[in-house]
A and B are shown apart, each in its own frame.
Chain A
Amino acid sequence: MLTIEDLAKYPFLNKATSYIAQFGLTLDDFSSGEFNKIIDRALMKLKYAIEGKILRIDSSELDIEILSHALALALAYGMKNAWIVRRFANIEQKKCYELMKAEESKKLIEIAKDGFGWNLELADINGYDFSMPLNQFLQIAPKFQSQSWKLVNFMVSNGKVYIKKEKIARLLSEAVKIKILKKMEEEEVKRMKIPEELAIKLKDIKKLIRSRREIMEEREVPKEGAIPPCISAIMKDVKEGKPVSHMARFTVTAFLLNIGMSVEEIFNFFKNIADFDENKALYQIRHIAGMIGSKTKYIPPKCEVLKSSGLCINQDKYCEKVKHPLQYYKIRRKGL
Chain B
Amino acid sequence: MNIIFQAFKRYYSNINPSDLHIIELEKREIALIPFKEERMIRHISFKDLTSLKNYLENNVPLHLYYSSAYYGNPQAEDMNAKCWEGADLIFDVDADHIPTDCKNLHDKWFCLNCNEYGFGVPPEDCPKCKQRKIDVTTWICEKCLDIAKEEVLKLIDEYLVPDFGINSKDIEICFSGHRGYHIHIQLEDFRKLSGDGRREIADYVRGIGIDLRAHGLRLINGIVFGPDIRDPGWRGRIARAFYEYISKSSIEELEKILGKKAELIISKREKILDSMMMNGTKWFIPKGIGIKKISKIVEVAIKRNLCNIDERVTIDIKRLIRYPNSLHGKTGLKVCRLSYSNLNKFDPLKDAVVFKSGSIKIYVKEVPKIRMEDYELGPIKNEVLEVPESLAIYLICKGAAEMGK
Residues of A whose CB lies within 8 Å of any CB of B are 126, 133-135, 138-139, 141-143, 147-148, 150-160, 162, 294, 304
Contacts of A150 in B (CB 8 A): 200, 203, 208-209, 211
Query: What residue in chain B is nearest A323 (Cβ atoms)?
Result: B209
Contacts of A141 in B (CB 8 A): 200
Measured CA separation A66–B403 after assembly (Å): 80
Decide: A152 near B165, CB < 8 A? Known: A135-B190, A157-B232.
no
- Nearest-neighbour CB distance to chain A for B278, whole angstroms, equals 18
Decide: A304 near B208, CB < 8 A? Known: A138-B201, A155-B235, A158-B162.
yes
Measured CA separation A125–B171 after assembly (Å): 29
Measured CA separation A217–B177 after assembly (Å): 56
Decide: A155 near B208, CB < 8 A? Known: A138-B197, A142-B197.
no
Flag if B166 contacts A159 (CB, 8 Å): yes
Query: What residue in chain B is nearest A162 (Cβ atoms)?
Result: B233
Measured CA separation A159–B196 after assembly (Å): 18
Q: Which of B190-226 contact A (CB under 8 A)?
A: 190, 192-194, 196-197, 199-201, 203-204, 207-211, 214-216
Measured CA separation A138–B317 after assembly (Å): 15
Measured CA separation A153–B210 after assembly (Å): 6
Flag if A147 contacts B211 (CB, 8 Å): yes
Flag if B192 contacts A126 (CB, 8 Å): no
B139 at the interface (CB under 8 A from A): no
Decide: A156 near B164, CB < 8 A? Known: A138-B201, A150-B203.
yes
Flag if A151 contacts B214 (CB, 8 Å): no
Flag if A152 contacts B210 (CB, 8 Å): yes
Measured CA separation A148–B200 after assembly (Å): 12
Question: What are 7 A-B interface contacts by the 8 Å CB criterion?
Answer: A126-B235, A135-B190, A138-B201, A139-B197, A142-B194, A151-B201, A156-B164
B91 at the interface (CB under 8 A from A): no
Flag if B234 contacts A156 (CB, 8 Å): yes
Decide: A126 near B203, CB < 8 A? Known: A134-B164, A138-B193, A158-B162.
no
- Nearest-neighbour CB distance to chain B for A63, whole angstroms, equals 36
A155 interface neighbour in B164, B199, B209, B234, Cβ under 8 Å: B234
Contacts of B209 in A (CB 8 A): 147, 150, 152-153
- Nearest-neighbour CB distance to chain B for A306, whole angstroms, equals 14
Measured CA separation A153–B204 after assembly (Å): 8
Flag if B231 contacts A156 (CB, 8 Å): no
B163 at the interface (CB under 8 A from A): yes
Measured CA separation A135–B187 after assembly (Å): 11
Flag if B189 contacts A155 (CB, 8 Å): no
**Tally of B interface residues using CB under 8 Å:** 32
Query: What residue in chain B is nearest A150 (Cβ atoms)?
Result: B209
B200 interface neighbour in A133, A142, A158, A162, Cβ under 8 Å: A142
Contacts of A142 in B (CB 8 A): 194, 196-197, 199-200
Flag if A148 contacts B163 (CB, 8 Å): no
Measured CA separation A20–B2 after assembly (Å): 72
A156 interface neighbour in B204, B211, B214, B227, Cβ under 8 Å: B204
Decide: A157 near B233, CB < 8 A? Known: A138-B201, A142-B200, A147-B209.
yes
Query: What residue in chain B is nearest A149 (Cβ atoms)?
Result: B200
Contacts of B199 in A (CB 8 A): 142, 304
Contacts of A135 in B (CB 8 A): 189-190, 192-193, 197
- Nearest-neighbour CB distance to chain B for A179, whole angstroms, equals 16
Contacts of B164 in A (CB 8 A): 134, 156, 159
Decide: A152 near B190, CB < 8 A? Known: A138-B201, A159-B164.
no
- Nearest-neighbour CB distance to chain A for B70, whole angstroms, equals 16
Decide: A151 near B204, CB < 8 A? Known: A126-B231, A142-B199, A156-B164.
yes
Flag if A133 contacts B189 (CB, 8 Å): yes
B231 interface neighbour in A148, A153, A155, Cβ under 8 Å: A155
Measured CA separation A1–B23 after assembly (Å): 41
Flag if A153 contacts B214 (CB, 8 Å): yes
Flag if A151 contacts B203 (CB, 8 Å): yes
Measured CA separation A126–B233 after assembly (Å): 12
Which 6 pairs of residues, A with B, have the shortest CB-CB distance? A159-B165, A157-B232, A138-B197, A142-B196, A153-B214, A151-B200
Contacts of A152 in B (CB 8 A): 200, 203-204, 207-210, 234
- Nearest-neighbour CB distance to chain A for B317, whole angstroms, equals 13
- Nearest-neighbour CB distance to chain A for B83, whole angstroms, equals 15
Measured CA separation A159–B80 after assembly (Å): 32
- Nearest-neighbour CB distance to chain A for B166, whole angstroms, equals 7
Query: What residue in chain B is nearest A142 (Cβ atoms)?
Result: B196
- What per-residue 1/0 map shows which CB atoms of B158-197 lie under 8 Å from chain A? 0000111110000000000000000000000110111011
Query: What residue in chain B is nearest A307 (Cβ atoms)?
Result: B208
- Nearest-neighbour CB distance to chain A for B227, whole angstroms, equals 8
Measured CA separation A92–B80 after assembly (Å): 32
- Nearest-neighbour CB distance to chain A for B176, whole angstroms, equals 22
Flag if A156 contacts B233 (CB, 8 Å): yes
Contacts of A139 in B (CB 8 A): 194, 197
Query: What residue in chain A is nearest B212 (Cβ atoms)?
Result: A153
Sample of 16 more A-B contacts, CB < 8 Å, known A135-B189, A158-B165:
A126-B235, A134-B165, A135-B197, A141-B200, A147-B211, A148-B211, A151-B200, A152-B200, A152-B207, A153-B210, A154-B233, A155-B235, A156-B163, A156-B204, A157-B163, A158-B162
Contacts of A155 in B (CB 8 A): 215, 231-235
- Nearest-neighbour CB distance to chain A for B329, whole angstroms, equals 28
Measured CA separation A28–B165 after assembly (Å): 51
Flag if B232 contacts A138 (CB, 8 Å): no
Query: What residue in chain B is nearest A143 (Cβ atoms)?
Result: B196
Q: Which of A151, A152, A156, A294 has the most CB of B within 10 A?
A: A152
Measured CA separation A259–B33 after assembly (Å): 43
Q: Which of B163, B196, B227 has the most CB of A within 10 A?
A: B163
Query: What residue in chain A is nearest B235 (Cβ atoms)?
Result: A155
Q: Which of A139, A141, A153 has the most CB of B within 10 A?
A: A153
Measured CA separation A155–B204 after assembly (Å): 11
